[in-house]
Structure 1
Amino acid sequence: MSPHTNGVHARKRDPFHDDDDTSCGDVVHTLTRSLAGGISSLILFLRGNGLRMATNLTLRALWHLRRNLTRRRILSFPHLLVLVWVLVLLRGESWIFHWKVDRCRWNKWEDWPDDASPHHLIFVADPQLVDPHSYPGRPWPLSDLTVLVTDNYLRRGYNELQSQLRPDSLFFLGDLFDGGREWKTATGDFEDAKWARPYPKGEKEYTQMWRKEYGEDYWMEEYLRFSDIFFKSYYDEKTINPGSESRGRKLVASLPGNHDIGFGSMVKVPVRDRFSAYFGEPNRVDVVGNHTIVSVDTVSLSAGTSAQAKTEKLEHIYGPVEEFLRGVKDAKRKATQKELRFLRGDAVELQLSHAVEDASGVKSDDSSPADVDAEVADLPTILLTHVPLYREPGTPCGPLREHWPPSNPPPTDAKGVVVDHRNAISVSSGFQYQNVLSEADSVKLISSIGNVKRVFSGDDHDYCEVEHTSNKNNAVEITVKSISMAMGVPTPGFVMLSMWNPVDDAGRPLRNPDETVQTHLCLLPSQFTTYFGYVYMAVVTAILLSARALLVSLISLPAFAHSLNAPFPPPPSILSSAAAAAGGLPRYKEKRDDDGKPRLAAPRSRSLSRSSSSSSSKSRRKKWGWPGQKPLRIQVYDNDFYDGGKSRSLWRASSGSRRTIKPRVVCTELAATSWRVVWVVLLFWGWLNA
């Protein structure tokens, strides 16, 4: 047949063609009818089978809820164990932190005169937030669980620190992150230097993946995570003492650690710039509690004395620190002047006179009158460094060092000096770390800053207290414990510093300047002990549930498992259909004795005595049961319940046979009770850690 009819080409109809109004209308009509038909079918389904299904599901859910909310089931033994577990978890996840920090309240260890008004300061070291760098081979979900648990430990300990101790100031001593130096910056050269040491074997295979997947955005997430744990509670009004809103209250977290920016010649300047942009200048001077606190970026300073400094130009790494140390004494003097003006009520900023002078008559060494006339004393100085100062190998750290306590008796060398290597900080180095600074850097720090009385450091994760030699001004250094539970030390902690140094208008001390600070080591809970308590409680729970399951089989204790109990009445929909078919529900059930003689057991009453029950049962005996079925009667041994078991032992069945353990009953009951305890306890633990 020709494709042309009357000279007109027959076009194939396209129902979706825009310019064909008739076809478009047909499509819309078809779609409307299909939609209407679907809605009608859904309505019919909801009115018919759908409604019945929803009703049955609801009734069945209510049925299960009802049989689980009975008094016998709620007050059952498994739920008693759940209650004990709730108390154990509350103690381990919350209360123990409160109790530990409560022992460290300032008034429990301070020893100042009654008229003293000390400034309270706390040092926090090495929180080292766990990240992909911490445990690179740990799989999910164990890796995420590690982050959750360690973060919650930090948060709980720090929140108790703030809410109970309410320090006036708080300083971090570096290593805020664990892998901060590994996350690529948005700008700048992030490549490793040609002289850089190779990555350790456990990290080498992950470096390429880290640089590809973890960059500036991830570092920002880590910064927000750190802020949520440590910054938020510090600025909470509940943690601020009345009158502490003055300029003396500080939170300083700008001191970097080797995990934040690297160490020595391997410090990457873009990484350091990113850290200082968000946390502040790493080299700074603060006057707190009439003491001068000098923070120094010693991980960058170490580049100047590294082996690579002899052949490579590393001024871009250690140059800013060197410049700071050259002017640190002037910076201390200016900061002290500013603080004294504030204490006197004068203008804080230096007021310069306005005058027009001939430039040729101005000398470069002219100073303002205020600078010339002011006689400012040098306040006692406290040095903050992430890496501890140099000490001779084997210098003991004292009895408060947890990982390796002092040897007994203490070993000595040929000169009689105590040398206890296991109780000391190891004088060694490795990839991106060095346990102590070099001797040259340590001496340079003390001499450049001047009047250093105390030194506080981190990095080692454990407590260490030493008194340095005369070339370091005999300064006492305390290496602060890590506050994190994941740093290899069982008991984390922090150091509290109480400072009281009354001075005159020129800053001269009014009491012995060597007795202006008192320190205290505050210990947080040992998570190992807490988890051991959980394991012990789990073993006790398993033993008790197993013993109960055996008793259910032996002496017919009420079972917790539904499958071992008499069937609960079915949902109302089933009840109604059964009642309609039978003409009513039976109230009794009959059984026969082994000899075929029926006995009827009437329902018991609390007020019914043994004699009255036996006599009345004869008068009320009659046949009953389902239509069309032979009547069965139940056999009751009244003596078992009313004579205290004298005439018949509860350890024997009604037939007189010895009771035996039924494995199916034991396993079913143990599974039901264990599952109930496990999921409720885990749900509560998840709620505590959410």
Structure 2
Amino acid sequence: MNHRVVNGLRIVWVIVTLWYELGVFFKSVSSCNWPDAVLRSSPHVTNTPSHVLLIADPQILDHRSYPERGPFLTYLSRLVVDLNLRKAWWVALRKQPDVVIFLGDMMDGGRIDMTDDEYEDYYQRFNHIFRLPSGLPTYFIPGNHDIGLRASSLFSPHARSRYQSHFGYLNSWILVANHTFVLLDAPTFVEEDEQRVKSGHAYQDWTPRHGGPIEFVTTVARGENQNYPIVLMSHIPLARTSFDCGPLREKGTIRPGAALGYQNTLGKEATAFLLETLHPSVVFSGDDHDYCENYHTSGWRGATTRVREISVKSFSMAMGIKKPGFQLLSLVSPIHGEDDQKTLADVPCFLPDQMSIYLSTYIPLLLVSLFIVLGSNALRVHTLPPKRSRRLSSPHPRRGDDASEDRMTSLPQPVSVRTPKSGSRPQIPSSFVLFGRRRHIMCFDLLRHCLTLCRTSRRLNSEGLWFGFLRDSRDIAVFPLTVFVAISFWITIT
């Protein structure tokens, strides 16, 4: 029976491991497709849509991320989160995007003051997790965890230059399907806007910092691509009058707030400057970690327009949300003269709840499995006949023994035999002499035999129970652990 139990649990664990370590990731993205159908519904669309994959806040951990957990738990957390990021990235790339854009906070400690060698190792770890197919255009915008926000002794004075040498420009724009993507350095924009506010100048009177975000935004708005639809990318969400985030948000909302190293939203004047200068068709942001769909109002060409902003979910399981995610954006080139043409559409994709898998699947299944293994071994040991000597197996004395006992005299035993040795247990008499014949007390014999058998059986059964329990647990665990290691290795090298 034990063999069948072990094999059955092996099969269950292998199936569960395959499904929850790989299958659920495929399932989560298989039902999430590029929103091309929305664009193809227009009779004017004849070209194939371009596809942009948006990734927000992967924020890969380092040894400083959880100082309260201690070195071992911090290292274990990093391994678990890195593996989850690898699997999520592996299935996200199965969507075969044409362009990838990271919306900031690539590394949790990218802004921290560290040696160049340590930063290089950190950056290479990011590249190893997010391996890119050859020739896939990839762009980054800085987040507050990448370059810092406001001065601090904890932040590296070289954070911005270090970011530029590894990830690219702080501010840039690209053209995708005749849409201008404005990639804004939001943390530096916040700092420059604070300087403007302290000086008491309005935007039209402010002399922009050379090479800064305000100068960049003004240049893009006056550039040759101003007639194309603009897609604004900002790590920090825009200010808002409504705090409704829609039904896809897990909890709470995005509210104004700021402290050392972060700011929840841009200022109201800064938001108005971006909307009225760029007139974006849509805004994508990050930083908040949870999904949020919000609308802003902007005046353009004498009319009030609504601008949709999407705060993309964090790609990491370690950012305080149950289900990480990413965004799929489809675009088609606008047709001249078709002002009402829909040229872009997006859809969120949600990844599995990794913590729920651990807490609601693996741990309960582990407890049930241990209970089954313990129960099957207890049943096995209970039905196993204990080893007995021939004499102990028969409580009745043999006939020859009776005859020899009859011939015994009633003389008392020598003192050396009668007196027990110091420290030895006193023996319970099992016979007595009456009228010159030795008489047996059968109940004492039976009691002594029972006590001996119980002690022997308890010792043998106890050893067999725990040894079998540990052996069976090991034999079961080796199969799912092998599958887990194989999947992890496969995801790492592919």
Q: TM-score, normalised by structure 1?
A: 0.55
Residues 49-448 of structure 1 mapped to structure 2, 5 A cutoff: 76-106=4-34, 110=38, 112-113=40-41, 115-163=46-94, 165-184=95-114, 215-230=115-130, 232-235=131-134, 250-253=137-140, 255-264=141-150, 270-306=158-194, 310=198, 320-331=212-223, 333=224, 336=225, 378-392=227-241, 395-402=243-250, 404=251, 422=252, 424-448=253-277
Do the aligned residues in 1 keep the contact of 2:39 with 2:343 (CA within 8 Å)?
Answer: no
**Partner secondary structure for residue 182 of structure 1:** coil
Change (3 A) 1:108 1:545: farther
Q: Which of structures 1 and 2 has the bigger CA Rg?
A: 1
- Deviation string, structure 1 residues 114-162 (Cα, Å, up to 9, x no partner): 8451111111000000112311232233222211111111111111111
Q: Counterpart in 1 of 2:449?
A: none
Q: Which amino acid aligns with 1:494?
A: F
Q: Which amino acid aligns with 1:476?
A: R
Q: Which amino acid aligns with 2:106?
A: L
Change (3 A) 1:316 1:305: closer
Do the aligned residues in 2 keep the contact of 1:159 with 1:233 (CA within 8 Å)?
Answer: no
- Deviation string, structure 1 residues 241-284 (Cα, Å, up to 9, x no partner): xxxx7xxx63112x000000011456866211110122111211
Q: Counterpart in 2 of 1:499?
A: 331
Q: Counterpart in 1 of 2:426?
A: none
Do the aligned residues in 2 keep the contact of 1:443 with 1:471 (CA within 8 Å)?
Answer: no
> Which residue of the other structure, out of 651, 660, 670, is the alignment partner of 2:469?
670
Q: Which amino acid aligns with 2:10?
A: V
Distance 1:98 1:131 in 2: 28
| Residue 678 of structure 1, CA deviation | 3.8
| Residue 529 of structure 1, CA deviation | 2.0
Distance 2:221 2:39 in 1: 32
Matched, 1:522 2:345: no
Do the aligned residues in 2 keep the contact of 1:303 with 1:309 (CA within 8 Å)?
Answer: no
**Partner secondary structure for residue 175 of structure 2:** strand
| Residue 675 of structure 1, CA deviation | 3.4
Change (3 A) 1:488 1:548: same
Change (3 A) 1:262 1:105: same
**Partner secondary structure for residue 100 of structure 1:** helix
Distance 1:492 1:99 in 2: 14
**Partner secondary structure for residue 71 of structure 2:** coil
Residues 675-686 of structure 1 mapped to structure 2, 5 A cutoff: 675-678=474-477, 680-686=479-485
Q: Counterpart in 1 of 2:413?
A: none
| Residue 686 of structure 1, CA deviation | 3.8
- Deviation string, structure 1 residues 548-572 (Cα, Å, up to 9, x no partner): 0121023349xxxxxx99xxxxxxx
Change (3 A) 1:592 1:138: closer
Do the aligned residues in 1 keep the contact of 2:36 with 2:330 (CA within 8 Å)?
Answer: no
Change (3 A) 1:547 1:111: farther
| Residue 221 of structure 1, CA deviation | 0.8
| Residue 448 of structure 1, CA deviation | 2.6
Residues 623-638 of structure 1 mapped to structure 2, 5 A cutoff: none
Distance 1:465 1:252 in 2: 23
- Greater RCO, CA 8 A, separation 6+: 2
Change (3 A) 1:269 1:325: farther
Q: TM-score, normalised by structure 2?
A: 0.75
Q: Which amino acid aligns with 1:552?
A: R
**Partner secondary structure for residue 306 of structure 2:** coil
Do the aligned residues in 1 keep the contact of 2:39 with 2:344 (CA within 8 Å)?
Answer: no
Q: Which amino acid aligns with 2:488?
A: N
Do the aligned residues in 1 keep the contact of 2:35 with 2:330 (CA within 8 Å)?
Answer: no
Q: 5+ residue gaps in structure 2?
A: 201-205, 399-453, 490-494
Aligned alpha-carbon RMSD (Å): 3.3
Do the aligned residues in 1 keep the contact of 2:35 with 2:345 (CA within 8 Å)?
Answer: no
| Residue 233 of structure 1, CA deviation | 3.5
Q: 5+ residue gaps in structure 1?
A: 1-71, 185-214, 236-244, 337-376, 405-421, 558-563, 566-589, 598-656
**Partner secondary structure for residue 89 of structure 1:** helix
**Partner secondary structure for residue 486 of structure 1:** coil
| Residue 663 of structure 1, CA deviation | 3.8
| Residue 683 of structure 1, CA deviation | 4.9
**Partner secondary structure for residue 475 of structure 1:** strand
Do the aligned residues in 2 keep the contact of 1:301 with 1:317 (CA within 8 Å)?
Answer: no
**Partner secondary structure for residue 305 of structure 1:** helix
Distance 1:490 1:324 in 2: 37
Distance 1:509 1:549 in 2: 79
Distance 2:157 2:18 in 1: 46
**Partner secondary structure for residue 40 of structure 2:** coil
Distance 2:113 2:18 in 1: 37
* More strand as a share of residues: 2
Change (3 A) 1:271 1:663: same
Q: Which amino acid aligns with 1:519?
A: D
Change (3 A) 1:304 1:154: same
- Deviation string, structure 1 residues 397-423 (Cα, Å, up to 9, x no partner): 010101x1xxxxxxxxxxxxxxxxx4x
Distance 2:166 2:12 in 1: 46
Do the aligned residues in 2 keep the contact of 1:264 with 1:301 (CA within 8 Å)?
Answer: no
Change (3 A) 1:318 1:427: farther
Do the aligned residues in 1 keep the contact of 2:312 with 2:326 (CA within 8 Å)?
Answer: yes
Do the aligned residues in 2 keep the contact of 1:154 with 1:229 (CA within 8 Å)?
Answer: yes
Distance 2:186 2:210 in 1: 9
Q: Counterpart in 1 of 2:376?
A: 548
Do the aligned residues in 2 keep the contact of 1:293 with 1:382 (CA within 8 Å)?
Answer: yes
**Partner secondary structure for residue 17 of structure 2:** helix
Do the aligned residues in 2 keep the contact of 1:122 with 1:167 (CA within 8 Å)?
Answer: yes
Do the aligned residues in 2 keep the contact of 1:380 with 1:453 (CA within 8 Å)?
Answer: yes
Change (3 A) 1:318 1:265: farther
